[in-house]
A and B are shown apart, each in its own frame.
Chain A
């Protein structure tokens, strides 16, 4: 299992976000991407997760030496970000069931219940998301990202709005993920950077360097 990016560059018209970013992450590893606001952490994460096309450069995801297709990437990737919004009209249970169905994953009632319990959402599982606090919505986003046990997990500022138990949940998710896959984490939070065993710093001058 491998995530490899070579010569990544992202440019919006005349604005260079980053250039010449190379990285490689293998199974059991957690890469932490740091950098100032506007240095391109979230953009890089979206490109790595296949949600945004780079201006130039390549991203490859491999499992057992075989490159994944776009459809396989969608099934085998989990993504949490402040830019991620789930359906406010639906409950946590309905949101997770819906995304399991569109991913083509069979999610039985017991698995769904245990996921909701792990997220600490059992009591409010059937309430619409519009009634949730921001921390509870963040927990549903974790569920969205991990319910299909993806080998590739991308977390962008995942600790935002989380309380103490939420922080423990995040640590638990990252630990478990490292046992069966890899994690790429974009953050500037000191506690969260400690999860990484590899680091990349986007310095805001258009380049990315191992920190």
Chain B
């Protein structure tokens, strides 16, 4: 665990000094949110549409920034130094934690702005934030694993979105459905939460099982 925390600390320090990933994530998120609110704001949207818009913004912002964690190591050549010294599973865990923090930073900016600009507030805030937290956990974990796979490929950006989208689709649909229920406050979100936790758990476990093989290739 100490090794994973070392990777996390290194990534936070490096990101704090360059702000490449956090800037692209937040800029993309804010720009999309502003565009959406100006285009759709006056129409009094249903909770399902609002939930879909929120997760579309979060998903595409994540696509814009979360692949940086591994792609940057590959592009700058530091991956060889990591490979020669670090345990692969600890690297993956450290990068997952870093991406979760990055996504949380994005959400701290985007979600309150979303409430203000779309003039909405969840009827069941606890359920809303539970779905947001668990959905983000799954989103960041899966994005990290996919980033590791595509980091060696030529057209990393396009490949990252193309590969991540089908893998993340069940998670995304459950998160949208759960968020819509929490915004309405009418129906419980347990079925969605169970699906998010189960699906994320399977993907995270598979990532850890396969990562050593990906890392060695």
- B78–A104 touching, CB < 8 Å: no
User: In residues 8-37 of chain A, which contact B (Cβ within 8 Å)?
Assistant: none
Given A53-B216, A74-B85, A74-B86, do A86 and B6 touch, yes or no (CB 8 Å)? Answer: no
The interface residues of chain B lying within 8 Å CB-to-CB of A128 are 17
Contact between chains at B10 and A103 (CB < 8 Å): no
A90 at the binding interface (Cβ < 8 Å):
yes
* CB-based contact B78/A85 at 8 Å: yes
* Nearest Cβ on chain B to A3's Cβ, whole angstroms: 15
Indicate if A98 sits at the interface (CB-CB under 8 A): yes
| Interface membership of B80, Cβ < 8 A | yes
Q: Which of A83, A87, A102 contacts B6 (CB 8 A)?
A: A102
Contact residues of B between 83 and 108, Cβ < 8 Å to A: 83-87, 90-91
A89:B6 contact, CB within 8 angstroms: no
CB nearest neighbor in A for B5: A101
**CA–CA, A135 to B82, complex, Å?**
21
Q: Let me know if B2 and A88 touch, CB within 8 A.
A: no
A51 and B10 contacting across the interface, CB-CB below 8 Å = no
A42–chain B nearest beta-carbon distance, Å:
11
How many A residues touch B, CB cutoff 8 Å? 26
A109: Cβ under 8 A from any B Cβ = no
A51 touches B78 (CB 8 A): no
User: A98, B84: Cβ atoms under 8 Å?
Assistant: no
B159-192 vs A, Cβ < 8 Å mask (1 yes, 0 no): 0000000000000000000000000000000000
Q: Does B77 contact A (CB under 8 A)?
A: yes
Q: Is B45 located at the chain interface by the 8 A CB criterion?
A: no
Within 8 A of B (CB), among A174-197: none
B77 & A104 in contact (Cβ 8 Å cutoff): no
Of all chain A residues, the one with the shortest Cβ separation from B79 is A85
Inter-chain CA distance A32–B10, complex, in Å, is 35
Contacts of A77 in B (CB 8 A): 84
User: Which residues of chain B from 10 to 43 have a CB within 8 Å of any chain A CB?
Assistant: 10, 13-14, 17-18
A94 to B90 Cα, complex, angstroms: 19
Choose one: B3, B17, B91; the contact of A89 (CB below 8 Å).
Answer: B17
Q: A79 near B: Cβ within 8 Å?
A: yes
The answer to whether A132 has its CB under 8 Å from any CB of chain B is no
Contacts of A104 in B (CB 8 A): 2-3
Q: CA of A108 to CA of B34 in the docked complex: distance in angstroms?
A: 50
B residues whose Cβ falls under 8 Å from a Cβ of A: 2-3, 6-7, 9-10, 13-14, 17-18, 76-78, 80-87, 90-91, 216-217
The 5 closest A-B pairs by CB, nearest first: A101-B6, A85-B77, A102-B86, A89-B14, A89-B17
Task: List 26 A-B pairs, Cβ < 8 Å.
Answer: A51-B84, A53-B216, A53-B217, A74-B87, A83-B77, A83-B80, A84-B81, A85-B77, A85-B78, A87-B14, A87-B78, A88-B76, A89-B13, A89-B14, A90-B10, A98-B6, A99-B85, A101-B3, A101-B6, A102-B82, A102-B85, A102-B91, A103-B85, A104-B2, A128-B17, A144-B85
